[in-house]
Structure 1
């Protein structure tokens, strides 16, 4: 799970309508080609200030931040 951080003060931006996903097996080898998944509610807005701080392995920890 990714915890995004961004500042609404930044100008510009875009709305992503899909997210590319590549599935992997337990050995971390890709099991096929990238698949495009539609994002809910018309997409997700992002701008140049978007950044990933670190990964959480469960939703509860990610939502705590």
Structure 2
């Protein structure tokens, strides 16, 4: 699979406060992944509020 340097994957995880640790573990797993693209992880809550964005920093494919 070939990806462009600006390619990323946007994911939304809907979780309540009780899943805070699970979301943190998921974020860490994406930070340490070997995928050829960055993964942006957005979190939302189960009460229907809009997701809040955070991204998993991954410098492999950025034109730095």
TM-score, normalized by length of structure 1?
0.28
Q: Which has the higher contact order (CA 8 A, sep 6+)?
A: 1
TM-score, normalized by length of structure 2?
0.29
Structure exhibiting the larger radius of gyration computed from Cα positions: 1
Comparing both structures, which one devotes a greater share of its residues to strand? 1
